[in-house]
Amino acid sequence: MVKFLVSACLAGVPCRYDGAAKTSPEIVALVESGRAVPFCAEVASGLSTPRRPAEIVDGDGEAVLDGRARVVDDRGSDVTAQFIAGAELAFVAAREHGVEEAVLTPRSPSCGCGEIYDGSFGGVRRAGNGVTAALLLRNGITVRSPD
Ligand code: SF4
């Protein structure tokens, strides 16, 4: 029975902005056992792979959902709408599978839990959740990074 929604890149899918995966043996094992469903919010939103790196500017995922912050790529293009759409699709997938917990990729502007980059594209971290993590949390789903 499916228990977890997991970031697809943790499950070995090469869907990150740079066309790579971020494979976690823990997550691959969960998917192979049928207990986790992999999902990539950014790919689901229609963004291509590879794609420009993106960060949240002037806030975190909660602020993006509230219209108080934006997601932009490193050339300044606004991709806020795609990130929100991807988060909503992730929540739909979580609800369809009845999952109560998500295991998500650290520091991603979509999947980050508790820590993200600050929007400067300088590798500076700040406290906060990505847009998908924030939407799942708002809907009562536990989110965490892999062990
Ligand atoms: Fe991985 Fe999440 Fe980024 Fe997709 S949106 S590449 S699943 S971190």
Residue 54 bridge partners (DSSP): 73
pLDDT, residue 3, reads 95
pLDDT, residue 2, reads 83
111 lines ligand 1 (CB under 6 A): yes
Nearest to 42 by CA among 32, 52, 34: 52
pLDDT, residue 147, reads 86
Pairing outcome for strands 54-57 and 70-73: antiparallel
State phi, psi for 70 to the nearest 5 degrees.
-125, 160
Distance 41 CA to ligand 1 centre (A): 6
Distance 85 CA to ligand 1 centre (A): 14
pLDDT, residue 70, reads 98
How far is the CA of 14 from the CAs of 10, 64, 78, in angstroms?
A: 9, 26, 23
pTM above 0.85, yes or no: yes
pLDDT, residue 22, reads 98
Q: What residue's CA is closest to ligand 1, atom 6?
A: 16
Q: Which two tokens stand for residue 21?
A: 């995966």
13 lines ligand 1 (CB under 6 A): no
Q: What residue's CA is closest to ligand 1, atom 3?
A: 16
- pLDDT tens for the 147 residues of the chain, in order: 889 999 999 999 999 999 999 999 999 999 999 999 999 999 999 999 999 999 999 999 999 999 999 999 999 999 999 999 999 999 999 999 999 999 999 999 999 999 999 999 999 999 999 999 999 999 999 999 998
Contacts by 19-27, CB closer than 8 A, 24 or more apart? 19/49, 19/50, 22/105, 24/146, 26/103, 26/146, 26/147, 27/103, 27/146
Q: State the closest ligand 1 atom to the C-alpha of 86, by its place in the atom list counted from 1.
A: 5
Distance 109 CA to ligand 1 centre (A): 8
Distant-in-sequence, close-in-space partners of 27: CB < 8 Å, separation ≥ 6: 6, 7, 10, 11, 36, 38, 103, 146
